[in-house]
Amino acid sequence: MVVAVLIVAVASSTLLSGGGDGASPSGVGAALDDPLDFPVTSDPVVSASPSASGPSASKSPSKKPSSSPSKSTGEPKPDDDGDAGGGDDGGAASEPVFPSGGTYDIKPAHTGLCLGIGPEINNPDRTVLVQDSCSQAKPSLTVAKVDDDTVRFTLYFAAEDWSACVGADEDHGELFAARGCDGGSRQTFTLVPAGSGRYLIKSNAYGTCMDFPWYRNTEGAQVGGAACSTGAASQRFAFS
């Protein structure tokens, strides 16, 4: 019994003195306080789902207000002149109505002057077809239909009491002059629709179209024959 008590007393004394092995009196606590002796653990495991307290990864940054005006979804405004095609030919313009018989002011698109009769340049004794101001263009031209798209242009000279027809010169229609009506092909013309209510005036004899090859923008400019082109404003004529 006495021996057992002595053994317990010795063991207790050993534990209180640090085991007598020379270790630091601070024991385990001292080892943890030294950062060099901090126990190394394995790499931390990253959670697949973000922390509830952190920012959400699914949120996109807020958009800044655009400096550009928003695009209108309304219909485009029509052109001021109401022409959907935006040009002289008018794009979607319907075909013009074929002129019926009667007296007309015939106006080339490039000047808006009117056809009439005037002296030939360098040969003033001869009268040929020219353009002039509409108040001065004399005499007016009368359109007489020959068939569906073929016409004859007649002129009446009151002072001479003479009716004449516009005819192409024999020299391949270089000029168009007033001459006695004979019903020949040099005095008949085909009206070719050219858009925006205008026509080409094509010689049935030569296949050329009325144009203004010389001084085309001036009053008194002579009408001559040229290769037909719907793109030439000087060949497109309105009948009014």
Within a domain: residue 81? no
Within a domain: residue 169? yes
How many folded domains does the chain comprise?
A: 1
Tell me the CATH number at 113.
2.80.10.50
Within a domain: residue 234? yes
pLDDT single digits (tens) 199-236: 999 999 999 999 999 888 999 999 999 999 999 999 99
CA 170, 174, 180, 185 torsion-angle sign: positive
Angle (CA) 187-153-169 rounded to 5° is 35
pTM above the 0.75 mark?
no
Within a domain: residue 13? no
Pick from 4-8, 165-169, 196-200: least confident? 4-8
pLDDT-based confidence at residue 174 (cuts at 50, 70, 90): confident
Within a domain: residue 193? yes
φ, ψ of residue 102 in degrees (nearest 5): 150, 180
CA atoms within 13 A on the CB side of 215: 11
pLDDT single digits (tens) 38-72: 444 444 444 444 444 443 444 433 333 333 333 33
Within a domain: residue 178? yes
Domain that holds residue 143: 102-239
Within a domain: residue 22? no
Within a domain: residue 107? yes
68-82 core/surface letters (b: 16 or more CB in 10 A; e: else) = eeeeeeeeeeeeeee
pLDDT at 100: 75
pLDDT single digits (tens) 127-154: 899 999 999 988 889 999 998 889 999 9
* End-to-end alpha carbon distance in the chain: 148
